[in-house]
Chains A and B, each alone.
Chain A
């Protein structure tokens, strides 16, 4: 879609993904609804929605430095939590009424203690236990952890999270996943109507605004894209982006500036979110949420016993979307993704899919070197 024809919805998503506080969050706040930030995609948004809260996925968008966070974290910690925390210290997250941190990767987990001890005044801070093995006992443990979080949210925000409200939140979020899948499906065509860079905005916006509003916007976007003529088929290569975090479009943008097209991804802010559905008819909706996160979608690289599933999902997507190569990204000092991408590279090679694994910082010093590497890779997979 050319710049001038770009859909209003896409512009809105792009705007929301490019900053932290957006008009939808401001509207929600002015209507007296509370906003709770959360780290990592395994924390079910459904629980917050059922409590009448707006879940806001934490990110460090707009950060240029980690100067203030450096007093807390050293450069031997991943730059994602450092930039997020820096943004918090500079007052970017004052709109939060609560924060839930999961026991995910080490660096992100330690935000919990630092946030609590810092001058940031967030009324509710909670550490949610998250298992690192995909198994039935672990899903049951996670259910118990979610039940504790539910009670804590009810106490803090004076809400009653009934099973009925949970089921309706599950339906809403399943609809989001379904609509996102429809969008991804459109990218399988020879002439995808949306770029990888635009898709990052679509996905990031989805975890930064109310779901009902987002779903309505997504429907409109799908309609608009369906009506577009097929014009986007002269790209140098079809690529897939995989790896950690991924709340920015740096890699997709650089690849697309070099004439390639990113047609799918498997990142923590992107394609991982659209996978499967929570059982909305389950008699115990908390159990359904726990099973979805631990058994159906164990996509956090920290979860053991699930690498084969994660690799299969990526390899299947690479085939289904007809990709010519895979770009992997991880942030420096990320131990888990170091191993994940190492193993994945071997598996992709075994499947005959070329890949380039890149280590970068959340805010790279310069994009020049990254661009050169991406360009060189595209040359090797060019159609």
Chain B
């Protein structure tokens, strides 16, 4: 197999796994014979994997519902519910799935206030959803602070959550298994860091977005089906291998004459396949990072159960994309911009400003000022990452092209 064939195979494999995250996948997960939990947002895979339970994520199923055939009609139906027009469509879709009554009854529901008001609201809808009235519930309070006290506070809630899961499902979290999973999770995290480091080479050897794919496999897909967890490690190892080879050979991405490297400081849009490949092929402009392809190494400390829970808490609060950006003060948000642009040698920073992201919409000046102070060309878009109708991909392409030209980058 050529390197490109390996990359294509990894992509295809990822896409196949992602089917488990769709609404159809949620219904399949419920039939897997394992205890089945629905969570409002990100699913802390270490705990469900170690307990061998299946966790489906409402916002992810919602986001998946905004793509594919009939997506626009689905988004419109979700909007008609009348919750909030400019509510993030992934959450709107999740709320719509509830209202439409198409979700299986889980063994347990876990909700959280992170990363944003929208998910907080969705969680409350799940908590009070009449058909799930008898289903055991657990609600997490993710703090906005970044101190050890905050991590211990959240870790203590995770401990309670484990007890609640044990009670609801009869499954046990053993120290031995938790350590095993935590060590593998650390290994996955370090592979993602290796990949992130390797993609900093000029020219960029492999689409950095593959870090998102690997992270989502190890986290979301593994949470729905724990048997994917070790497979995700293997997937990441193959990714790092091929990337290393390409760096040594100094070969860039297939068919790309790299001229511009930029940061897309938001979620990768569901319509990104119409934008990013075109930017690469027509302008040599490579997206080096999005929220989900940017990672920090926050290892799980396996010394004791409490240390594991506190470090899983820290990893959740400071290492989960979107939670990292939306839950904390602007210094985290702005420092990351500077750091990414420096480390990834970005020539520009694009602020997509998804309409549902109250954080980015409130941080536009701070981000602009940060970029100006650091000599980073800045461009504000204002799009909807889930609903392309708000600002079509070709309009985004044209606007970025004009921006790159006017700043002398293209």
Interface residues of A (CB under 8 A from B): 71-74, 76-78, 103, 105-107, 109-110, 112-114, 117, 127, 129, 131-133, 135, 137-138, 141, 144, 301-302, 304-305, 307-308, 330, 332-336, 338-340, 342-343, 357, 359
Bound form: Cα–Cα A327–B37 in Å: 37
Q: In whole Å, how far is A257's beta carbon from the nearest beta carbon of chain B?
A: 26
Provide the residues of chain B in CB contact with A71, threshold 8 Å. Answer: 365
> Which residues of chain A are within 8 angstroms of B356 by Cβ–Cβ distance?
76
Within 8 A of A (CB), among B68-124: 81-88, 91, 95, 111, 113, 116-118, 120-124
Chain B CB count within 10 A is highest, among A73, A127, A357, A359, for A73
B118 touches A335 (CB 8 A): yes
Q: Looking at the complex, which one of B122, B123, B124, B359 makes contact with A110 (CB distance below 8 Å)?
A: B359
State A342–B330 Cα separation when bound (angstroms): 31
Q: What are the 6 A-B residue pairs with the smallest beta carbon separation, nearest first?
A: A338-B84, A339-B121, A110-B362, A113-B330, A132-B113, A133-B141
What chain A residues lie within 8 Å of B140 (beta carbons)?
133
Closest Cβ–Cβ distance, residue A330 to chain B (whole Å): 8
Cα-based distance from A16 to B302 in the complex (angstroms): 58
Other A-B contacts than A76-B356, A117-B365, A342-B83, 6 sampled, CB-CB below 8 A, are A76-B353, A132-B141, A133-B140, A336-B120, A339-B83, A343-B128
B354 (CB) vs chain A CBs: closest residue? A76
User: How many angstroms from the CA of A334 to the CA of B120 in the assembled complex?
Assistant: 12
A339 nearest in chain B by CB position: B121
Name B residues whose Cβ lies closer than 8 Å to a Cβ of A. Answer: 81-88, 91, 95, 111, 113, 116-118, 120-125, 127-128, 139-145, 149-150, 153, 156-157, 160, 326, 329-331, 353, 355-359, 361-366, 369, 382
- Docked Cα-Cα span, A138 to B123, in Å, equals 17
List, sorted by A's number, 12 A–B pairs whose CB atoms are closer than 8 Å: A74-B364, A77-B362, A127-B329, A304-B124, A305-B139, A332-B86, A335-B116, A336-B117, A338-B87, A339-B121, A342-B125, A357-B82
Complex CA–CA separation, A112 to B144 (angstroms): 13
B118 contact set on A, CB distance < 8 A: 335
Given A335-B118, A342-B82: A133 in contact with B143 (beta carbons within 8 A)? no
Cβ–Cβ contact A339 & B144, under 8 A: no
In the complex the two chains form, is B362's CB within 8 Å of A106's CB?
Answer: yes
Is there contact, CB below 8 Å, between B144 and A103? Answer: yes
A107 and B358 contacting across the interface, CB-CB below 8 Å: yes
Q: Which residue of A lies closest to B150 (CB)?
A: A129
Contact B358 A106 (CB under 8 A): yes
Give B108 Cβ to nearest chain A Cβ, in Å: 15
List the B side residues contacting A301 at CB < 8 Å: 121
A302, B123: Cα distance in complex, Å: 10
A304 to B157, CA, bound (A): 14
The answer to whether B139 and A133 have CB atoms under 8 Å apart is: yes
Residues of B within 8 A of A144 (CB): 149
User: Are B363 and A106 touching (Cβ within 8 A)?
Assistant: no
Q: B157 near A307 (CB under 8 angstroms)?
A: no
Do residues A141 and B365 form an inter-chain contact, with CB atoms below 8 A?
no
Q: Which residues of B contact A106 (CB under 8 A)?
A: 116-117, 326, 358-359, 362
CB-based nearest B residue for A305:
B139
| Structural contact, A131 and B366, CB atoms closer than 8 A | no
CB-CB under 8 A from A129, the residues of chain B are: 143-145, 150
Instruction: Point out which of A74, A301, A308 has the most chain B C-beta atoms below 10 A from its C-beta.
Output: A74
Tell me which residues across on chain B come within 8 A of A138, comparing CB atoms.
141
A73 lies within 8 A of B361 (CB): yes
Bound form: Cα–Cα A71–B160 in Å: 43
From B127, B139, B362, contact of A73 by CB (8 A)? B362
Q: B375 to chain A: closest CB distance in Å?
A: 19
A76 with B141: CB separation less than 8 A: no
Beta-carbon contact of B365 and A114 below 8 Å:
yes
Looking across the interface, which residue of chain A has its beta carbon closest to that of B91?
A335
- A335→B363 contact, CB < 8 A: no
- The smallest beta-carbon distance between A376 and chain B, in angstroms, is 17
Smallest CB–CB gap between B203 and chain A, Å? 35
Chain B residue contacts of A107, Cβ below 8 A: 117, 358, 362
How many Å from the CB of A58 to the closest CB on chain B?
16
Question: Shortest beta-carbon distance, A107 to chain B, in Å?
Answer: 5
| Residue contact B83 to A304, C-beta cutoff 8 Å | no
Complex contact B364–A72 (CB within 8 A): yes
Of the residues A113, A131, A333, A334, contact of B329 by C-beta under 8 Å: A113
Q: Given contacts A106-B358, A335-B84, is CB(A304)–CB(B139) below 8 Å?
A: yes
Chain B contacts for A343, CB-based, 8 A: 124-125, 128
A101–B82 alpha-carbon span in the complex (Å): 30
**Contact in complex: A342, B141 (CB < 8 Å):** no
Bound CA span A103–B122, Å: 18
A334 and B121 alpha carbons, distance in the complex (Å) = 10
Point out the residues of chain B lying under 8 angstroms from A342, CB to CB: 81-83, 125
Considering the complex, give the chain B residue whose CB is closest to the CB of A330. Answer: B84
Measured between beta carbons, the chain B residues less than 8 angstroms from A137 are 141, 153, 156-157, 160
Give the chain A neighbours of B117 by CB distance below 8 A.
Answer: 105-107, 302, 334-336
Cα(A308)–Cα(B127), bound, Å: 10
Task: Indicate which residue in A112, A131, A307 contacts B127 across the interface (CB closer than 8 Å).
Answer: A307
Residues on the B chain within 8 Å of A332, using CB: 84-86
Residues of A within 8 A of B113 (CB): 132-133, 302, 304
- Would B86 and A333 count as touching, CB distance under 8 A? yes
Report how far A301 CA is from B123 CA in the complex, Å: 12
Q: Provide the residues of chain B in CB contact with A308, threshold 8 Å.
A: 128
Nearest CB in chain B: distance from A76 CB, A: 4
**Distance to closest chain B CB from A37 (angstroms):** 18
Q: Which residues of B contact A335 (CB under 8 A)?
A: 84, 87-88, 91, 116-118, 120-121, 358
How far is B156's CA from A76's CA once the two chains are assembled, in angstroms? 35
Complex Cα–Cα for A137 and B160 (A):
11
Distance between A116 CB and nearest chain B CB, rounded to angstroms: 8
Q: What is the CA–CA distance of A90 and B400 in the complex, to the nearest angstrom? A: 34
Report B409 CB to chain A, min CB distance, Å: 25
Bound-complex Cα distance A117 to B355 (A): 23
Q: Which of A113, A307, A340 is the one whose CB lies under 8 Å from B363?
A: A113
Is there contact, CB below 8 Å, between A114 and B111? Answer: no
In Å, the complex CA distance between A336 and B150 comes to 23
Write the chain A residue with the least CB distance to B358: A106
Question: A132-B113, A305-B127, A342-B82 given as contacts; is B121 within 8 A of A336 (CB)?
Answer: yes
Q: How far is the CA of A343 from the CA of B358 in the complex (A)?
A: 22
**A137 to B157 CA separation, bound complex (whole angstroms):** 8
Chain B: minimal CB distance from A291 (Å): 15
- B residues in contact with A73, CB < 8 Å: 361-362, 364
The chain A residue sitting closest to B364, CB to CB, is A74
- Beta-carbon nearest neighbor of A132 in chain B: B113
Closest to A138 in B: B141
Asked if residues B84 and A114 are in contact (CB atoms below 8 Å), the reply is: no
Option from B83, B120, B355 in Cβ contact (under 8 Å) with A302: B120
Residue in chain A with minimal CB distance to B40: A304
Separation of A72 and B330 alpha carbons in the complex (Å): 12
